[in-house]
Structure 1
Amino acid sequence: MRILITNDDGPLNDECSPYIRPFIQHIKRAHPHWKITVCVPHIQRSWNGKAHLAGKDLCATFIYSDIDKNDNSFWGPFNKPQKLQSIDSKLPYIINPEIPSDAIEWILIDGTPASCANIALHLLKDTKFDLVISGPNVGRNSSAAYITSSATVGAAMESVITGDTKAIAVSWAYYENRKIVPSKLMKMASMRTTQIISHLWENWDNQTDIYSINIPLVDELSNLTKIFYAPIWENRWSAIFNGPHIREPIKGNLIEDGKDTDQISFNWSPDFKNHKNSSHYDGLLKDELIAPGTDMDIIEKRFISVTPLRATFRSMEHLNGELILKSNNNNNNNNNTVVEDDNELNEFVAALTISKDEYIYEPIKNAFKKYLPQYSIQSRLADLSSVKKLIQYGDYEQLDVDNLMLENTKYFANSFIYRKALIRKHYLAHTIHSYIVKNPQSILNKAVLESHTLDLDYAEFLDDSLDENWELRQELESERKWWIVKPSMSDKGQGIRVFRTIDDLQRIFDSFDDEDDDNEAEFMDDNKIIISQLRHFIVQEYLTNPLLLPSMDNKKFHIRCYITCKGDLEVFVYNRMLALFAPIKYNDVTKKTDFDPTDLKTLQSHLTNTCLQSKNETKELSVMEFDNLIDISNDNKSKIIKQIHEITHDVFLAAVTVNRMNFQPLPNAFETYGVDFLVDSNYEVKLLEINAYPDFKQTGDELKSLIDELFLNVTKSVIRPLLDSTQSEDCDSETFTKVLDHKSNEWN
């Protein structure tokens, strides 16, 4: 593979460019099959972006460094190459016997990094380069403000545009101003960088032009340091200069009457901490509020970030069609007057982009017809420029995310964009824990069972994962409690198991990897998982004393409650709830001496998810309306619903206050969640999980009226006031209760 290496920090230098020499030395030793050419600016050229020095002719000089020396000494500079670098070189050269044949040749161009890439790709060799590596940059290139200014990324972008050559921009991020790090650490950074480059080259995504990699220069960097794909943090910053200042007269600097004059200057003084999030221009982001999952957040957490990029400016798809200028009555001095478009927009559109076969299509359509009569119902998303207001109800992937962020008075939709703080189990556990620490009196303190997170790539790494979570290890080693393990990002009961010991847990993970496992209960054909595809797990204390109802053959059940959020932020609880039952009678695990954690037939009595019962003949008896349960008194039902209201209030308040970057309610959005609760034998309610886009069809045909009424309530009390602030919520507190009314500018 033929590789061009460039950078924006210049040639090997103790201060400006300390990383590129050890990086190239590592490649020469570890990857001798990589044929490399090094072409870099002759001095540091940071902050140039993808710039060229227009009108300036560029010159080349050459230096040579010893492949084995651990210092930045070199031979040169020379005006011509001092040896034949390769048989396909276009450059005239001379043979210098003082320079070893295996020395590293550095081609220095007195231009920008982009110019180095352009010259190297077109003028140095007859053979086409396979890949351009730009870097390692001294420092990080993460977030929009840095990447758009980065000459490291700029050189990579030029490589794609001018030579249609794949490119990888590499940055080594240092911390606490510790720019110079031990050689051992630079060797590790070099090794991890080339590992990632090899992987990306062999598995190149066809839609990607450039990868931007950030490697953390921290002592704990190792082969185990995790790597994450990460989008760009779309931040903004303010002034990077200060002033104005008045300088002393400068000889030869003449204006107007030819006399020397004081000069106004602006001094380079960037405030790199003064960032704004592009989605929240009204306030500065604190360091701890960097959006998790972005490149900035990943590198701040000392992980490795990989950001796929396209070498193009991003066009805004919502701006399209003809642009009509309105006439200006005060400026009609030519014959090219633009006629004003007097056609006032008057179209109100409701786009139901879900399939007409969906269980909820008719309930939504009927509710819209009743409470939004002025909205025409369409099956496709209308052009936003042709309507006054557009409300869309669709799958998450169908929503226009850009307009959801930018057009908050015109475009409305049925989902927030960021809500991981609630719908991913390990994020939810973290959200609740953070809130309880600050609010120990919260009902969440007793309404959430003890939870631990577990990160695991493969079954054989369980012991290492438990070493990283010593609190969980201690709990499991004590063998005092029963536990349930569930993948953080799965749904429909997939991968859930009950266990007690570390050995039990190891057997569970081993069974996930065992493709020949014949111990499959018929109703759970799809219950197994692939660990490496999920990785994040929640280990939660198992409730061993669930409320059991004699009239339902003492089967375990959970409550499904539909909860709707409006804007930023009101929360409503729909009080007609479902009770979802396990297919068989509850089997108390605490009384079993031969419990097998991998026996899926035994597991049936513990799992109440009805989607696992699709082949079970008792499914028609597994869903009932909670209010119709005859074994629970009205007083106890009221006690349960009151707890659900209080839990809902606190958990959504927790998400919007302590984990704001993972739960970002929008003023023009609403969302209905399916929230699951358990009730113990003392009628105490426990929160299980929160599901986005819940499976409404599990309600069944007999209880369809419950869903019909839900969407009538949501449309009347949530959507209609969201579209028109003059409309009252008209909320029926008996069936649809508002439990939270929080303004996001009122931070706790």
Structure 2
Amino acid sequence: MFLCNNIQVSSHSGPSSLHARLLSPSSPVTPDPTIPLQIAAMLNALVSWPTTPLTDSLVRAAIKRIGLPTSFVAIEEAAGVQPLLQWSTYDDIDHERTHFDRTTVLASSYIFRKALIRKHYLSRGIQAYLKKRPDSILASACPSTFEVEISFADELDEMWTDELWELGYKLDSCTSWWILKPGMADRGMGIRIFHTKEELQQIFESFEDSDSENEEAENDGQDVTAVVISQLRHFVIQDYINTPLLLDPSETTDREKSTEKLIGRKFHLRAYCVAAGALQLYLYNRVLALFSSIPYEALSINTSGDHLDLRAHLTNTSLQTEHGENNVRLLTELEGCHILSGEGGNIFTLSSIEKLLSQMSEVLSETFKASLQNPVHFQPLPNAFELFGVDFLVSHDLASATDPFQVKILEINVEPAIELTGPRLTWILEELFISIAEVCVRPFFQPPSDGKEPNWKVGEMRHNLLKCLDESVQGPAMQ
């Protein structure tokens, strides 16, 4: 049972203390979610994105677009007002009110969603899900993953004979490459590629001295991606996908470009998905392709990881800000480009794009189902919604028995860095936030007059949102 103490607490206390209080035994005080909301003359909207002005402006424009009478209020003015829309950064949301005022308060973030956004929790949840459902698409869409909890580099010696025995066995064969990612970092921080035990040891040793490394890098004008190992502790090690689909983004602006001048570059897909209530899941059909800044270089067992140029392999836009939006394309813009991976020579077609969109929808559906199996770290609420940025890599495997193009889920991000999309494609963000307002905000504060939910089936597209999942969650968060 998800029970609550009826006590007075600060409305802006941290999520950890809130979690403890919400799990304390007492009598449930959650309002009956079946009671219809009586709309006040004016909707109060708390919009606060202090570090991301673009998001702030998009949210305000979307709220105005749906036409509900709205008064924008500051944080200090929001206490006690209702009805209240909290469309703000996670830290500025009053999560206490989100939990208790289920019928009058709508929030743009779930309170607990670590099962999705922490790489080690996500991997753990998917592996547990696959033990019960080995035929799930996640079996092929999630790279082989190992978890590492480490504070100092010298701890690695004992791990090779215990929790990392299987990884050590694979590294001894020297036939594959692996990618290291901090479980709680973002924007490419701490990501490294290696293929031997010695290289992984050197990586962790370099992290121990990251303060001096950062200072030297800043003095040299280099990108700073080192992390402090003792502060992060949790890492994941994933099988590096060495068969990426390669295209040349310059071909989208110069269709007459000679094929001899095309250069294959790696990219990943940034898909935006919206979770609403408890629980519907939607995939925004305008997917971005984020390219690396330099040509792709295939890795071999003879390649040294010591001086590897990560720019050919990492496609994080935040690590390549000097290239602006030149490396950002819509997935649909890539239709007609020459495929430069595999045997090459073929054309990337609209049919392939549609299949990738279908795969992403199915992978997202299964991923959220897996996270629902961990109710402590993912608790959907009926009066909350959230925008996630999901990263996929497209593998081009000619040996595949089904389709040569297969999406691999990499990670799920909250409050994604949409400002890195660039001015050219800002219009897709404008339409995304309007769609969120129409699908998540309007129905809560202006429900249908007949009281019936719209008949929106899984697989159906509305407002440029493809419905991936429609679950009726009955569990701790709903008690």
- Do both proteins adopt the same fold according to a TM-score greater than 0.5, normalized to the shorter chain? yes
1:386 is displaced (CA, Å) by: 3.9
Residue 384 (structure 1) shift? 4.6
Aligned: 1:593 with 2:291: no
SS at match of 1:467: coil
Choose the corresponding residue for 1:531, options 200, 204, 229.
Answer: 229
**Contact map agreement 1:567 1:722 (CA 8 A) in 2:** no
Query: How far does the alpha carbon of each residue in 1:359-395 deviate from its partner, in whole angstroms, 9 at most, with x for none?
Result: 12222212111214222233445445343x1001111
Higher alpha-carbon deviation: 475-484 or 625-634: 475-484
The verdict on how the C-alpha distance between 1:491 and 1:357 changes in structure 2, with shifts beyond 3 A counting, is: closer
Q: Deviations over 1:658-706 (max 9, x none)?
A: 1121100111110000000000112111000000110110111110001
1:176 equivalent in structure 2: none
Distance 1:483 1:460, change over 3 A: same
**TM-score between the two structures when normalised by the length of structure 1:** 0.52
Distance apart, 1:510 and its partner CA = 1.1
- Structure 2 residue corresponding to 1:628, chosen from 320, 324, 333: 333
Counterpart among 418, 429, 436 of residue 714 in structure 1: 436
State how 1:336-355 maps to structure 2 within 5 Å.
Answer: 346-355=41-50
Q: CA deviation at 1:277?
A: 9.3
Using the alignment, how far apart are the partners of 2:448 and 2:318 within structure 1? 42
Q: Using the alignment, how far apart are the partners of 1:434 and 1:423 within structure 2? A: 17
Partner of 1:674: 389
In 2, distance between residues paired with 1:646 and 1:448?
13
Q: Which runs of 5+ in 2 are unaligned?
A: 8-12, 33-38, 251-262, 338-347, 397-403
Deviation, structure 1 residue 637: 0.3
Distance 2:27 2:89 in 1: 26
Query: Residues of 1 paired with 2:273 and 2:19: CA distance?
Result: 30
What does 1:50-449 correspond to in 2, within 5 Å? 232=20, 234-235=22-23, 237=25, 346-355=41-50, 358-380=53-75, 382-387=77-82, 389-449=83-143
**Residues 1:649 and 2:365 are matched in the alignment:** yes
Seen in structure 2, the aligned counterparts of structure 1 residues 476 and 277 have a Cα distance that, compared at 3 Å, is: farther
Q: How does 1:548-559 map to 2 (within 5 A)?
A: 548-552=246-250, 553-559=263-269
Shift of 1:725: 3.4
2 CA distance for matches of 1:361 and 1:626?
26
Kindly provide the CA deviation profile for residues 76-106 of structure 1, in whole angstroms up to 9, marking residues without a partner as x.
xxxxxxxxxxxxxxxxxxxxxxxxxxxxxxx
Q: Distance in 2 between matches of 1:457 and 1:712?
A: 44
Cα deviations by residue, 1:153-176 (Å, 9 ceiling, x for unpaired): xxxxxxxxxxxxxxxxxxxxxxxx
Q: For the structure 1 residues 585 and 277, does the alpha-carbon distance in structure 2 shift closer, same or farther, using more than 3 Å as the test?
A: farther
Conservation of the 8 A alpha-carbon contact between 2:293 and 2:327 = yes
**Secondary structure of 1:510's partner?**
helix
8 A Cα contact 2:41 2:69, kept in partner: no
Is the Cα contact below 8 Å between 2:249 and 2:329 reproduced in 1?
no
Work out whether residues 144 and 232 of structure 1, in 8 Å CA contact, stay in contact via their aligned partners in 2.
no
Corresponding residue for 1:504?
199
The question of 1:640 aligning with 2:352 is answered no
Are 1:612 and 2:325 an aligned pair? no
> Residue type matched to 1:744 in 2?
V
Q: 1:687 aligns with which of 409, 425, 445?
A: 409
Aligned residues: 420
Q: Partners of 1:396 and 1:669 in 2: how far apart?
A: 12
Tell which has more relative contact order, 1 or 2 (C-alpha 8 A, sep 6+).
2
Pairwise CA distance, 1:622: 1.0
Code of the residue aligned with 1:665 in structure 2: it is P
The answer on whether the counterparts of 1:420 and 1:662 sit within 8 Å (CA) in structure 2 is yes
- Structure 1 residues 377 and 356, CA, compared in 2 at 3 Å: closer, same or farther? farther
Displacement of 1:481 in angstroms is 1.7
**In the alignment, structure 1 residue 702 sits paired with structure 2 residue 424:** yes
| Richer in strand (by share) | 1
> Shift of the alpha carbon at 1:441?
1.3
Partner amino acid for 2:436?
A: V
- Whole-angstrom CA distance in 1 between matches of 2:122 and 2:51: 33
Residue type of the partner of 1:626?
Answer: L
Q: Partner residue of 1:157? A: none
- After superposition, give the CA deviation of every residue in 1:460-499 in whole Å (9 maximum; x if it has no partner): 2112233331232323233232100000000000000011
Once the 2 structures are TM-superposed, how far is the Cα of residue 578 of structure 1 from its aligned partner? Answer: 0.5
Looking at structure 1, the residues matched to 31 and 159 of structure 2 have their Cα atoms a distance apart, in angstroms, of 40
Name the Cα RMSD after superposition. 3.1
Distance 1:697 1:381 in 2: 27
Residue 378 of structure 2 is aligned to residue 663 of structure 1: yes
> Match of 1:735?
464
* Rounded Cα–Cα distance in structure 2 between residues aligned with 1:587 and 1:459: 29
C-alpha distance in 2, partners of 1:689/1:279?
36
Q: Residues of 2 paired with 1:229 and 1:392: CA distance?
A: 20
> Does the residue aligned with 1:480 lie in a helix, a strand or coil?
coil
User: Which structure is higher in helix share?
Assistant: 2
Question: Runs of 5+ in structure 1 lacking a partner?
Answer: 1-142, 149-206, 208-227, 238-275, 283-343
Opposite residue 580 of structure 1, the aligned amino acid is: L
| Distance across 2 between alignment mates of 1:535 and 1:659 | 22
How many angstroms apart in 2 are the aligned matches of 1:510 and 1:711? 43
SS where residue 725 of structure 1 aligns? coil
Residue number among 528, 540, 554 corresponding to 2:238 in the alignment: 540
Quote how far apart the aligned CAs of 1:357 are.
6.3
* Cα distance in 1 between the residues matched to 2:462 and 2:88: 27
> Share of identical aligned residues, percent?
33
* Partner Cα distance (2:56, 2:70) in 1: 16
8 Å Cα contact 2:30-2:101 kept in structure 1:
no
Q: Distance in 2 between matches of 1:230 and 1:667?
A: 18
AA partner of residue 596 (structure 1):
G
> Aligned residue for 2:259?
none
Q: Which residue of 2 aligns with 1:480?
A: 175
Structure 2 equivalent of residue 471 of structure 1: 166
Quote how far apart the aligned CAs of 1:555 are: 1.2
For residues 83-131 of structure 1, give each alpha carbon's deviation from its aligned partner in whole angstroms, at most 9, with x where no partner exists: xxxxxxxxxxxxxxxxxxxxxxxxxxxxxxxxxxxxxxxxxxxxxxxxx
Query: Quick one: structure 1 residues 406 and 502, their matched pair in 2 at CA, closer, same or farther if it must change by over 3 Å?
Result: same
CA distance in 2, matches of 1:567, 1:480: 45
Aligned partner of residue 604 in structure 1, secondary structure: helix
* Alignment-mate amino acid for residue 663 of structure 1: F
Given that residues 120 and 234 in structure 2 are in contact (C-alpha distance below 8 angstroms), is that contact kept between their aligned partners in structure 1?
Answer: yes
CA distance in 2, matches of 1:381, 1:665: 27
- Which of these two proteins has the greater Rg computed from alpha carbons? 1
**How far apart, CA to CA, are the structure 2 residues paired with 1:722 and 1:478?**
56
Report if aligned partners of 1:279, 1:405 keep a CA contact under 8 Å in 2.
no
Answer whether contact 1:414 1:669 (CA < 8 A) is retained.
yes
Deviation at 1:234, TM superposition (A): 4.6
User: In 2, Cα distance between the equivalents of 1:279 and 1:665?
Assistant: 18
Q: Could you say if the C-alpha distance between residues 680 and 402 of structure 1 is closer, same or farther in structure 2, counting changes exceeding 3 Å?
A: same
**Is the 8 Å Cα contact of residues 454 and 466 (structure 1) preserved in structure 2?**
no
Asked if the contact 2:179–2:237 (Cα under 8 Å) also holds between the matched residues in 1, the reply is yes
Q: Distance in 1 between matches of 2:407 and 2:193?
A: 20
